[in-house]
A and B are shown apart, each in its own frame.
Chain A
Amino acid sequence: MQNALQIVWLIPIFPLIGFLINGLGRNYLSKSVISVVGCGTILASFALSIWVFLQVRNGNTHVAGYFNFISVGKLKIPFAFQIDQLSSLFLLIITGVGFLIHVYSTSYMNKESKEHFGRYFSFLNLFVFSMLLLVMGANYVIMFIGWEGVGLCSYLLIGYWFKNTEYNKAANKAFIMNRIGDLGFLIAIFWLFAKTGTVTYTDVFSGVGNLSNSDATIITLLLFLGAAGKSAQIPLYTWLPDAMAGPTPVSALIHAATMVTAGIYMVARSNVLYSLSEISMNVVAVVGLATAILAATIALKQNDIKKVLAYSTVSQLGYMFLALGVGAYSAGVFHVMTHAFFKALLFLAAGSVIHAVNGEQDIRNMGGLSKKIRITFITFLIGCIAIAGIPPFSGFFSKDAILLAAYEKSQVLYGIALFGALLTAFYMFRLLFITFSGSFRGTEEQKHHVHESPAPMTTVLVVLAVLSIVGGLVGIPEVFIKGGDRINEFLSPIIAQHDAHTVSHSTEYMLMALSTGLVIVAIIFAWIKFRNYQRSEARGLAKVLENKWYVDELYEKIIVKPLHNLASFLSNVFEKSVVDGLVNAVGKAVHYGSRQLRLLQSGQVGSYVLLMVLSIVIIFVLQFFLRK
Chain B
Amino acid sequence: MPINYYIFLSIALFAIGIVGVLTRRNAIIIFMCIELMLNAVNLLLVAFSKMHHLKAAMADVTTKAGTDGQLFVFFIMVVAAAEVSVGLAIIVMMYRNIHSVDVNFLNRLKH
A residues with a Cβ closer than 8 A to B are: 601-606, 609-610, 613
9 A-B pairs with the lowest CB-CB distances in the bound complex, closest first: A603-B110, A603-B107, A605-B103, A603-B109, A601-B110, A604-B107, A610-B22, A609-B21, A605-B106
Closest A residue, CB atoms, query B19: A613
Chain B contributes a number of interface residues (CB within 8 A of A) equal to 12
Q: For B108, list chain A residues within 8 Å (CB).
A: 603
Is B111 engaged at the interface, CB distance under 8 Å to the other chain?
yes
Q: For A610, list chain B residues within 8 Å (CB).
A: 22
Q: How far is the CA of A601 from the CA of B110 in the complex (A)?
A: 6
B residues with a Cβ closer than 8 A to A are: 18, 21-22, 25, 103-104, 106-111
Q: How far is the CA of A610 from the CA of B22 in the complex (A)?
A: 6
In the assembled complex, the CB of B32 is this many whole angstroms from the nearest CB of chain A, namely 15
Closest B residue, CB atoms, query A614: B22
In the assembled complex, the CB of A136 is this many whole angstroms from the nearest CB of chain B, namely 77
Q: For B22, list chain A residues within 8 Å (CB).
A: 606, 609-610, 613
Q: For A613, list chain B residues within 8 Å (CB).
A: 18, 21-22
In the assembled complex, the CB of A598 is this many whole angstroms from the nearest CB of chain B, namely 9
Pick the contact of A606 from B18, B103, B110 — CB < 8 Å? B103
B111 touches A603 (CB 8 A): yes
Q: How far is the CA of A609 from the CA of B110 in the complex (A)?
A: 14
Q: How far is the CA of A605 from the CA of B26 in the complex (A)?
A: 11
A604 touches B21 (CB 8 A): no
Q: For B109, list chain A residues within 8 Å (CB).
A: 603, 605
Q: How far is the CA of A609 from the CA of B103 in the complex (A)?
A: 12
B21 touches A602 (CB 8 A): no
A606 touches B25 (CB 8 A): yes
Q: How far is the CA of A313 from the CA of B25 in the complex (A)?
A: 98
In the assembled complex, the CB of A312 is this many whole angstroms from the nearest CB of chain B, namely 86
Q: How far is the CA of A609 from the CA of B108 in the complex (A)?
A: 16
Q: For A602, list chain B residues within 8 Å (CB).
A: 107, 110
Closest B residue, CB atoms, query A613: B18
Since A605-B106, A613-B21 are in contact, a sample of 13 more A-B pairs with Cβ atoms closer than 8 Å, ordered by chain A residue number, is: A601-B110, A602-B107, A602-B110, A603-B106, A603-B107, A603-B109, A603-B110, A603-B111, A606-B104, A609-B22, A610-B22, A613-B18, A613-B22
Q: How far is the CA of A27 from the CA of B110 in the complex (A)?
A: 72
Closest A residue, CB atoms, query B27: A605
Q: For A609, list chain B residues within 8 Å (CB).
A: 21-22
26 A-B contacts, Cβ less than 8 Å apart?
A601-B110, A602-B107, A602-B110, A603-B106, A603-B107, A603-B108, A603-B109, A603-B110, A603-B111, A604-B103, A604-B104, A604-B107, A605-B103, A605-B106, A605-B107, A605-B109, A606-B22, A606-B25, A606-B103, A606-B104, A609-B21, A609-B22, A610-B22, A613-B18, A613-B21, A613-B22
Q: For B18, list chain A residues within 8 Å (CB).
A: 613
In the assembled complex, the CB of A148 is this many whole angstroms from the nearest CB of chain B, namely 64
Closest B residue, CB atoms, query A598: B110
Q: For A604, list chain B residues within 8 Å (CB).
A: 103-104, 107
Q: For B107, list chain A residues within 8 Å (CB).
A: 602-605
In the assembled complex, the CB of A559 is this many whole angstroms from the nearest CB of chain B, namely 63
Q: How far is the CA of A605 from the CA of B87 in the complex (A)?
A: 15
Q: How far is the CA of A604 from the CA of B107 in the complex (A)?
A: 5
- Select the residue from A601, A606, A610, A613 with max chain B CB neighbours within 10 A: A606
